[in-house]
Chains A and B, each alone.
Chain A
Amino acid sequence: MRKQKHRVVAMILAMILLAGCGVSGDETTAPAGSTGEAASAEGTGEITKYTLAASVPLTGNMMQYGTSYKNAIEMAVADFNAAGGLNGQDVKFEVYDDKGDQKEGINVANMIISNEDVFAVIGSYGSSVSMAAAPVYQEGAVPMLSPNTSHPDYPGMGSMMVPLACKSEVIFGSIAEMLYEQFGACNMAVIYQNTDVGITTLEAVQERFESLGGTICAAETFVPNQTKDFTPLLSKIKGTNPDILFIVAEYSDGASIVLQSKQLGMEDVQLVGVGNVFKQEFLDLAGTNADGMLLMGIARIYTDEVMANNDFGEYTADIVERYNATYAADGGVEFDNFAALAYDGAMLAMHAAAEVGTDNPEVLAEEIRKMDIPLCAGDAWFDANGDLQREVFTFTVENGEFVYLPEE
C-alpha cells in the first residue's frame, strides 16, 4: 500500500512538472505592442486606450500618501478632460489599493496589465512596492510613472519605468556641496532612516562632503515607524560635537528628531532636512523648534504662506488653490509635493498619449520622458546619462512657518 502511494505521488509530481515545462504558456497580457516584439519606431498616433490607472496605498501605514496621490491624479484627469480630453473623449481614472505591500502591488499590477484600456499607470508609493511591481509592468508593456521612487535600481528595471524622483546620488552630492560652501569644512552628523532613501542619501552626502574636506562625525540610523524615541541616537551624536545635523526622515520622525534635539540642548547645531519633511504636517508637529532649519531637496513646499510670498507661476498657484479647495476643506491633507508629483505624472502620461497615441508603449514612454509640458512640482529633465534631474529648492523655517530661499 505504502509503496503504491509513493509511486502515485511521484508520478503526479513528474506529470505536473512536465506539464509546466512543456507549456511555456501564453497567458493574456496587454496585447498591444509587447516589448518583446519589434515595435515600430514611430507610433501611428492612434488613441485606442483611455484609462489611466494608479496603484497606491489606500490602506495601511502609507494611507495618507496614497490618498494624496489619488486626489491629485483625480484632479489632473478632471482638468485634462475639461480641456478636451484625449481626442475629445474623457480619460477614465481607475485607482487600486496596494496596501503598501509588495505582494498586493504585484496583484494590482497584474490586474492593471490585463485591462486592455490602460495606457499608463502611476504608482506606487515607496520603493519596495514599485520595485516589486516594475517587472510586471515592463512585461506587460505599460508605462509606469513613479512619483517618489528614488531607488537607484528602479530606472534599470526597463524602458517602461519613468521615475519622477531623482536618485539620491544625483542630487545629494550637490546639496553636500551647497552645505560646504555655506558652512565650510565642519563636523556633520547624519541621522537617517534605514530605507533605500536614507542609505543612498547618506552615501552620496558622505562621499561628497568628505571629499571636499568636511567630516562626517556620526551616522546613526533608525527603523522608521518603530520608535518615537531618538534620544539615545541624539545623545550619541551630541557627544561628537556636530556643527550640522543632517536629517533624512519622514516628516513625523523628522519632527520628533528636531524636538528631541532641542530637548537635549543641541540649540547651536544647524539642522538640515531633506525631502519628506517638506510638509505642513511637519510644522504642526515641530512648531517653532524647527526655526532656522534648512530644508534642501527636490521637493517644493506649497503652504499658504509660501505661496503668498513667492511666485511659482500661475500654473502651480492655480493647481494648489483648487486642490486645497476641493480636498483640504475639512481636515484633509493639503497640497504637498507628493500631490504635485502625482499630478505631474498624470498630466505627463495624458499629454504624451495625446501627442503620440497609445498603441506603442515604447514611444509613449519616450514621449513622457521628454517632459515638455508645464510641471507644478518644479523643473525636471532627463540628462545625457538617462538619469532624472530636478531643480533643487532651499527653504528655511522662520517663526514656525516655511520660507522660500530662492537661489541668488
Chain B
Amino acid sequence: MNKIFEFCAWHSGKLTVGALALAIVFPFVFTSSYVLRIAITVLMYIVLSLSLNLLVGFLGQMSMGHAAFWGIGAYTAAILSTRLNLSSLGTFLAAMVVAGLFGLLLGLPVLKLKGYYLTVVTLGFCEIVRLVELNWMDLTRGSLGIAAIPPLNFFGQIFKSSRSVYFVALVLVVLAVYVVHSIINSRVGLAVMSIRDDDVAAASIGIPVFRYKVMVFIVAGMLAGLAGAFYAHYISFIDPSGFTTSASLDLVILAIFGGQGSIPGAILGTTLLTVLPETMRSLMEYRQMIYGVIIVVMMLVKPDGLLGRVNFKYIRQRLQMKAEKEAKA
C-alpha cells in the first residue's frame, strides 16, 4: 500500500495530467449514453463532494444540510432559465451567487455553535429550505416541479448530447478541484486546517477565525450551487424531492468515504460509491441494504476514508528529502 502511495506522490504531477487525459478521452471510447450519463452523475457528485469536503473535512464543521445549497442552485438556475430565458453562463453565475449568499446566511449565525449544535441547525436549515421549495408555489411551483428546463447553453452553443454535457461537467470538476486545491494549499488553507484542529488556539495566534469560517461556508455553498445549476439543466425537471435531509446525509457519506480533507480521496470515493450501486443492480431489493453494509465495513476498516490520512504532499517531500540525502552521500 505504502509503495503505491509513494509512487503516486512522487509522480503526482504526471499522474494528474494522465488522469485528465483519460477523462478527456473517456467519452470517445465509451460511447454508450448509459455509461456517459453515469460518468456525468459521478462528475457532478464530485463537485458536490469536494464542496462538502471543504466544509467538513478541512474546516471540520459538521454541516449536514448541504443538499439545501444544491437545491438552491438548481432552483435558481431553473427559475431563471425558464422564466427569463437566461443562458447557462448566466444561470450558473446566478446560482453560485444565490447559493453563496445562503452560505453566508447559514454561516454567520452558526459560527459560535459547537459540534452537534451546528449539525442540528444545518439539518433544520436544509429542511426549512426544502419546505419553502415545496410550499412557495408562486416561485417554485411546489411539488409540481419545474419542467422543461432548457439544456446547457453557452455562447449560443447548445450542449445537449451526453458527450458535450460530459465535457461541461468535466470543466466544472476541474474548476472545483482548482478552487479547492488553491484554498487548501494556500496560507488560508493552513489557517482553515488549524481552525479545524483547535479554533481557540488558532484564534489565539491571530488567525481571523470568523472571517475564514464564513469564507469557507460561502465557497462551499457556491460550489454546491454550481453543481445544482448544472443538475437543473442536465435533468430538465426538478422538484423538492431530491433535496431532502436524507440527500444531505448521503452527501456527507460521499464526502467522508473517500477521505476527509483529501481531494484525490474525494474523487476516488465518490466515483466508487456512485458506480458501485449501478454494478449491484442484480441484487435487486438487497442493493440498498448492502450499500449500508459497505459503509459500515469501510468505517471499520478505514475510518479516515479511503485516502484519509494520506497526505501526498508530505510523502513527496519525504521522498525528495531522501533522494537529496542519497545524492549527497
Residues of chain A at the chain B interface (Cβ within 8 Å): 9, 12-13, 15-17, 19-21, 23-29, 58-60, 63, 96-97, 99, 101-103, 106-107, 110-111, 113-114, 127-128, 131-132, 134-135, 140, 151-153, 157, 194-196, 198-200, 221, 223
Residues on the B chain within 8 Å of A135, using CB: 236-237
The contact of A106 among B147, B178, B235, by CB within 8 Å, is: B235
Task: Give 4 closest A-B pairs by Cβ, nearest first.
Answer: A20-B167, A25-B163, A25-B161, A110-B34
Q: Chain B residue with minimal CB distance to A112?
A: B34
Report B202-232 CB contacts with A as 1/0, cut-off 8 Å: 0000000000000000000000000000000
**Cβ of A97 and Cβ of B163 under 8 Å apart?**
no
Contacts of B235 in A (CB 8 A): 102-103, 106, 132
Size of the B side of the interface (Cβ < 8 Å), in residues, is 50
What residues on A are CB-neighbors of B138 within 8 Å?
none
The listed residue with most B CB atoms (<10 A of its CB), out of A19, A21, A200, A221, is: A19
Q: Closest residue of chain A to B135, judged by CB?
A: A194
Q: 20 new A-B pairs (CB below 8 Å) besides A24-B160, A134-B237, A151-B144?
A: A9-B178, A13-B175, A20-B170, A21-B154, A23-B167, A24-B163, A25-B162, A27-B33, A27-B36, A96-B281, A97-B285, A102-B238, A102-B239, A102-B241, A111-B34, A113-B33, A127-B239, A128-B239, A132-B235, A152-B144
A197: nearest chain-B partner, CB-CB: B143
The answer to whether B142 has its CB under 8 Å from any CB of chain A is: yes
Give chain A nearest CB distance to B15 CB in angstroms: 15
Provide the bound-state CA to CA distance between A282 and B109, in Å.
46
Q: A131 contacts B145, CB within 8 Å?
A: yes
A-B contact pairs, 23 of them (CB 8 A): A15-B24, A16-B24, A19-B167, A21-B159, A27-B31, A28-B31, A58-B285, A97-B284, A97-B287, A101-B242, A102-B239, A110-B38, A111-B34, A114-B32, A127-B239, A128-B241, A135-B236, A153-B147, A157-B147, A194-B134, A196-B144, A221-B135, A223-B134
Shortest C-beta distance, B147 to chain A (Å), equals: 5
Are A27 and B162 interface neighbours, CB within 8 A? yes
Which residues of the other chain, A, contact B174 by a CB distance below 8 angstroms?
9, 12-13, 16
Q: Do A17 and B285 have beta carbons less than 8 Å apart? A: no
Which of A9, A99, A114, A196 sits near B34, CB closer than 8 Å? A114
Considering the complex, give the chain B residue whose CB is closest to the CB of A113: B33
Residues of B within 8 A of A97 (CB): 281, 284-285, 287
Contacts of B284 in A (CB 8 A): 58-59, 97
| Bound CA–CA A287/B242 (angstroms) | 35
**Closest residue on chain B to residue A152 by CB atoms:** B144
Considering residues A27, A59, A107, A200, which has the most beta carbons from chain B within 10 angstroms of its beta carbon? A27
* Residues in B whose Cβ lies below 8 Å from that of A194: 134-135, 142-143
How far does the alpha carbon of A151 sit from the alpha carbon of B142 in the complex, in Å?
A: 13
Query: Judging by beta carbons under 8 Å apart, are A27 and B145 in contact?
Result: no
- B residues within 8 Å of A by Cβ? 20, 24, 27, 31-34, 36-38, 41, 131, 134-135, 137, 142-145, 147-148, 154, 157, 159-164, 166-168, 170-171, 174-175, 178, 235-239, 241-242, 278, 281, 284-285, 287-288
CA distance in complex: A110, B33 (Å): 6
Q: Is the beta-carbon distance between A20 and B147 smaller than 8 angstroms?
A: no
Q: CB-CB < 8 A to A96: which residues of B?
A: 281
Chain B min CB distance to A223 (Å): 7
Q: A173: shortest Cβ distance to chain B, in Å?
A: 18
Contact of A25 among B38, B164, B178, B236 (CB under 8 A): B164
- Determine if B242 and A103 form an interchain contact, defined as CB atoms under 8 angstroms apart: yes
Cβ of A12 and Cβ of B20 under 8 Å apart?
yes
Q: Considering residues B31, B168, B237, which has the most beta carbons from chain A within 10 angstroms of its beta carbon?
A: B237
Contact status B33-A29, CB under 8 Å: yes
CB distance from B75 to the nearest CB of A (A): 14
Q: What chain B residues lie within 8 Å of A127 (beta carbons)?
A: 145, 239
CA distance A194 to B8 in the complex (A): 51
Contact A110/B37 with A23-B164, A194-B142 known, Cβ cut-off 8 Å: yes
User: What is the minimal beta-carbon distance from A288 to any residue of chain B, in angstroms?
Assistant: 33
Give the complex CA separation of A102 and B239 in angstroms.
9
Across the interface, do B147 and A17 meet the contact criterion of CB distance under 8 Å?
A: no
Residue of A nearest to B175 (CB): A13
Chain A residues with CB below 8 A from B31, complex form: 26-28
Is the CB–CB distance between B33 and A24 below 8 Å? Answer: no
Interface centre among A20, A59, A96, A128 (most CB of B within 10 A): A20
Choose among B24, B131, B142 the residue that contacts A199 (Cβ–Cβ < 8 A). B142
List of A residues within 8 angstroms of B178 by Cβ: 9
Contacts of A140 in B (CB 8 A): 33
Contact yes or no, B287 A16, CB < 8 A: no
Q: Is B285 a contact partner of A128 (Cβ separation < 8 A)?
A: no
Nearest CB on B from A252, distance (A): 18
**What is the bound-complex CA distance between A196 and B34, given in angstroms?**
29
Nearest-CB residue, chain B, relative to A131: B237
CA A106 to CA B41, docked complex, whole Å = 10
Q: Complex Cα distance A10/B207, Å? A: 31
Contacts of B242 in A (CB 8 A): 101-103, 128
Q: Chain A residue with minimal CB distance to B286? A: A59
Residues of B within 8 A of A13 (CB): 171, 174-175
CB-defined contacts of A110 to chain B, threshold 8 Å: 33-34, 37-38
The reply to whether B142 and A107 form a contact with Cβ atoms under 8 Å apart is no
Q: Contacts A17-B167, A20-B168, A25-B161; is A196 near B33 (CB within 8 Å)?
A: no
